[in-house]
Chains A and B, each alone.
Chain A
């Protein structure tokens, strides 16, 4: 599945003023164009608050567009009928940014992961026991265990919840995955496993990824192409190696310089610390 984002803008309405008026709107996305190739991983990095999550919400049609088009395999998603949109959603899944807010606290892990299989039952068509098997298989893939099956989200750590979100997104064998900071709560060794799992699925099944992360090391590892976004505008995009080795914009250079180095000797703070 390929995705074309063409000149997309999103302006949030300003605060209400009096009965009819509104203050100045807030431009979260300003003329953004990206093109994500089928079977590739596209990374999006950028300032916090620069519109990354808003863009994913536009792709899922959770937000209207103020301007521009979003095309999946050439067809405009904001023109799809509800039925067509539902079909599309079975091929397009998302791992949400916040592992605390995105899991329903009243559902067990089993039901959370099985939910997309039920919602898209007309496409997936599994018996209840087959669904449970599938859920088990997914939990194992992301490094959780069968004993976790009937627990509720609040009984899990941040990283465990994040993996539940990933398992849910993979449940229906989607073709396209939007991953909004999918490994931010994982320790680096589990992160390595998850990244390798995503890579393997991509090789085996030809998945396409839209991968948002603040971790430039992760983006470099998993992505083919990358776009850098700042204040709602794309400041540069291209192949990962080209952008990271030879950044053209000041903002990208600043990001690369601000990456914390895992070598203690290269800390700007070291002077004071008790070493």
Chain B
């Protein structure tokens, strides 16, 4: 049984002009120990795929036309709300592309992290290093300790001093690291990370990649890493799926896909990465022809 098995996922979203189908038959299987990169066009449905796994797309506007998403053998699209709350934050960790969905500007960073730690701890006290009989006080203390530890792990200097800050006092990259800490606190089995390092400098980014890598090595979890950065995919992912207009164009081992892409879109992406030698104005985008035919 795969950790995550997405089968023939078809999703439509309703908007101003009516309903449009966004996902056209996504198939993706993630085993424990695998780090899947998901790359592709902006607006191709990567985030909506990730959000679907945690069942975070409201209906309306969303509607699943067909397909299933099996997490450890159970279809999350059919799970009850209570089961979903158990899964989220404990078994499925999610780093959102949109930081405003998970960080409330009105509450201190620490309070928000402690809440997540408590939620995970109540589902499974071992996450906080506690036994079944722990008292409320134990939980609070442990949650605070774990919150500070996680903030340190994601590279916030002097984490203990900054825990009482509000989100606006953090830089973009620091906020992003708070989200990463939140997603990891519950020690999930599956981590979905949607553009987790876009606001980070390359050295902090390397630190986060190391953290994800170690988490996979130590706890044998599965990861879905959505990113535009082909360098990150090449560095850390075992597999990669390339998305375009709601479909997976090709998927497979990183070495195969990046070194011998079978689809011209993948090749176009690889050509679009600026290198030391690219002259200004000469970078190849997606050719106009391709944009039109694939529309």
Q: Could you say which of A31-39, A154-162, A170-178 contacts chain B?
A: A154-162
* Partner pick for A186 among B228, B232, B255, CB 8 A cutoff: B228
Q: A198 to nearest B CB, angstroms?
A: 10
Could you tell me the distance between the alpha carbons of A217 and B17 in the complex, rounded to whole angstroms?
A: 39
Q: Among the interface residues B13, B177, B274, which one has the most CB atoms of the partner chain A within 10 A?
A: B274
Residues from chain A with a CB closer than 8 A to the CB of B236 are 267, 269, 273
Q: Which residue of B lies closest to A144 (CB)?
A: B43
Contact with A along B34-76 (1 / 0, CB 8 A): 1100011111001100000000000001000000000000000
B42 touches A260 (CB 8 A): no
A48 touches B164 (CB 8 A): no
B47 touches A157 (CB 8 A): yes
Q: Which residue of B lies closest to A41 (CB)?
A: B280
* Partner pick for A157 among B17, B43, B170, B209, CB 8 A cutoff: B43
Given the known interface contacts A186-B42, A193-B285, the answer about A218 and B195 at a Cβ–Cβ threshold of 8 Å is no
**Is A83 on the interface with B (CB-CB < 8 A)?**
no
Could you tell me the distance between the alpha carbons of A9 and B41 in the complex, rounded to whole angstroms?
A: 40
Could you tell me the distance between the alpha carbons of A273 and B269 in the complex, rounded to whole angstroms?
A: 23
Q: Which residue of B lies closest to A191 (CB)?
A: B272
B198 touches A48 (CB 8 A): no
**Is B106 on the interface with A (CB-CB < 8 A)?**
no
* Partner pick for B205 among A214, A217, A220, A244, CB 8 A cutoff: A214
Given the known interface contacts A217-B275, A220-B274, A255-B202, the answer about A267 and B284 at a Cβ–Cβ threshold of 8 Å is no
Could you tell me the distance between the alpha carbons of A252 and B276 in the complex, rounded to whole angstroms?
A: 16
**Is A118 on the interface with B (CB-CB < 8 A)?**
no
B203 touches A273 (CB 8 A): no
Could you tell me the distance between the alpha carbons of A217 and B253 in the complex, rounded to whole angstroms?
A: 25
B174 touches A158 (CB 8 A): no
* Partner pick for A100 among B98, B270, B283, CB 8 A cutoff: B98
A181 touches B198 (CB 8 A): yes
Could you tell me the distance between the alpha carbons of A160 and B48 in the complex, rounded to whole angstroms?
A: 14
Q: B235 to nearest A CB, angstroms?
A: 4
Q: B135 to nearest A CB, angstroms?
A: 31
B213 touches A264 (CB 8 A): no
B204 touches A47 (CB 8 A): yes
A188 touches B228 (CB 8 A): yes
Could you tell me the distance between the alpha carbons of A257 and B174 in the complex, rounded to whole angstroms?
A: 22
Residues from chain A with a CB closer than 8 A to the CB of B203 are 47, 254-255, 258
Given the known interface contacts A218-B274, A262-B273, the answer about A268 and B201 at a Cβ–Cβ threshold of 8 Å is no
**Is A137 on the interface with B (CB-CB < 8 A)?**
no
**Is A274 on the interface with B (CB-CB < 8 A)?**
yes
**Is B173 on the interface with A (CB-CB < 8 A)?**
yes
Could you tell me the distance between the alpha carbons of A49 and B174 in the complex, rounded to whole angstroms?
A: 7
Q: Which residue of B lies closest to A180 (CB)?
A: B172
Residues from chain A with a CB closer than 8 A to the CB of B40 are 187
Contact with B along A239-275 (1 / 0, CB 8 A): 0000010000000001100111111101111001111
Q: Which residue of A lies closest to B231 (CB)?
A: A260
**Is A184 on the interface with B (CB-CB < 8 A)?**
yes
A189 touches B281 (CB 8 A): no
Residues from chain B with a CB closer than 8 A to the CB of A159 are 42-43, 228
Could you tell me the distance between the alpha carbons of A218 and B278 in the complex, rounded to whole angstroms?
A: 10
Residues from chain A with a CB closer than 8 A to the CB of B16 are 150-151, 155
Residues from chain A with a CB closer than 8 A to the CB of B232 are 260
Residues from chain A with a CB closer than 8 A to the CB of B272 are 187-189, 191-192
Q: Among the interface residues B40, B205, B272, B280, which one has the most CB atoms of the partner chain A within 10 A?
A: B280
**Is B286 on the interface with A (CB-CB < 8 A)?**
yes
Residues from chain B with a CB closer than 8 A to the CB of A266 are 234
**Is B262 on the interface with A (CB-CB < 8 A)?**
no
Q: Which residue of A lies closest to B276 (CB)?
A: A220
Could you tell me the distance between the alpha carbons of A196 and B171 in the complex, rounded to whole angstroms?
A: 28
Q: Among the interface residues A15, A97, A151, A189, which one has the most CB atoms of the partner chain B within 10 A?
A: A189
A190 touches B285 (CB 8 A): yes
**Is B8 on the interface with A (CB-CB < 8 A)?**
no
Could you tell me the distance between the alpha carbons of A95 and B283 in the complex, rounded to whole angstroms?
A: 22
Residues from chain A with a CB closer than 8 A to the CB of B61 are 155
Residues from chain B with a CB closer than 8 A to the CB of A214 are 173, 198-202, 205
Could you tell me the distance between the alpha carbons of A269 and B232 in the complex, rounded to whole angstroms?
A: 11
B43 touches A269 (CB 8 A): no
9 residue pairs from A and B, CB less than 8 Å apart: A100-B99, A155-B15, A196-B281, A199-B281, A217-B273, A244-B276, A263-B234, A269-B209, A274-B238
10 more CB-based (< 8 A) A-B contacts, given A185-B198, A214-B199: A46-B201, A156-B43, A158-B47, A159-B42, A189-B268, A199-B280, A217-B274, A258-B202, A264-B258, A268-B235
Pairs A-B, 5 closest by C-beta atoms: A159-B42, A48-B173, A260-B231, A192-B285, A221-B274
